[in-house]
Amino acid sequence: MRRCDLSVDPRASLALRRRRGRPVPPDELAASLEMTSAELAAVTAALSAAGFVVELHPMLGLRLVEPPAALRAEEIAWNLRTGRVGRRVRCVGTTASTNDLAWDAAARGRGEADGLTVFAEYQSGGRGRRGSRWLAPPHTSLLCSVVLWVAPSATRSAALTRGAAVAAAEAIEEQCGLSVGIKWPNDIIVEDRKVGGILVEARPGARGASPVVLGIGLNCRQRPEAFPPDIRESVASLAMCGAEVDRTLLARSLLERLDRTCAGEGGSERAEEIRREAARRCCTLGRRLTLLEGDATYCGEVVALDADYALVLRLVDGGLRRFSAMTAHVVGGGRPTGPEKST
**In angstroms, how far is the first alpha carbon of the chain from the final one?**
28
Burial 191-209 (b: 16+ CB within 10 A, else e): eebbbbbbbbbbeeeeeee
Answer whether 10-66 and 288-333 agree in fold: no
pTM comes to 0.92
In degrees rounded to 5, what are phi and psi of residue 197? Answer: -160, 170
Residue 337, pLDDT score:
34
- What's the DSSP call for residue 169? H
Q: How far apart are CA 97 and CA 324, in angstroms?
A: 26
- Residue-range domain boundaries for the chain: 10-66, 73-281, 288-333
Burial class of 2 by CB neighbour count within 10 A (0 to 12, 13 to 18, 19+): middle
Reported residue count of the chain is: 343
Let me know: does 186 contact 330? Beta carbons within 8 Å.
no
Helices and strands counted in the chain (H then E): 9, 14
Alpha helix stretches (DSSP H) within the chain: 10-18, 26-32, 37-49, 73-77, 98-106, 110-113, 156-176, 247-262, 267-281
Q: How far apart are CA 189 and CA 50, in angstroms?
A: 35
Tell me how far the alpha carbon of residue 304 is from its chain's centroid: 25
The CATH fold assigned to 73-281 is BirA Bifunctional Protein; domain 2 (3.30.930)
pLDDT tens, per residue, the chain with 343 residues: 333 444 689 999 999 999 999 999 999 999 999 999 999 999 999 999 999 999 999 899 999 999 999 999 999 999 999 999 999 999 999 999 999 999 999 999 999 899 999 999 999 876 555 455 656 899 999 999 999 999 888 889 999 999 999 999 999 999 999 999 999 999 999 999 999 999 999 987 667 889 999 999 999 999 999 999 999 999 999 999 999 999 999 999 999 999 999 998 767 889 999 999 999 999 999 999 999 999 999 999 999 999 999 999 999 999 999 999 989 999 887 543 333 333 3
Q: What 3-state class would DSSP assign to 189? A: strand
Residue 63, pLDDT score:
97
Q: How far apart are CA 179 and CA 241, in angstroms?
A: 10
The CATH fold assigned to 10-66 is Arc Repressor Mutant, subunit A (1.10.10)
Q: How far apart are CA 220 and CA 330, in angstroms?
A: 25
- What's the DSSP call for residue 13? H
Is CATH 1.10.3480.10 the classification given to domain 288-333?
no
Residue 191, pLDDT score:
96
Q: How far apart are CA 307 and CA 257, in angstroms?
A: 20
- What's the DSSP call for residue 19? T
Peptide bond into 336 cis (omega under 30): yes
Residues 6+ apart with CB under 8 A from 67: 13, 17, 51, 52, 53, 246, 248
Let me know: does 215 contact 98? Beta carbons within 8 Å.
yes
DSSP code string of 244-309: ---HHHHHHHHHHHHHHHHS--SHHHHHHHHHHHHHHHBTTTT-EEEEEETTEEEEEEEEEE-TTS
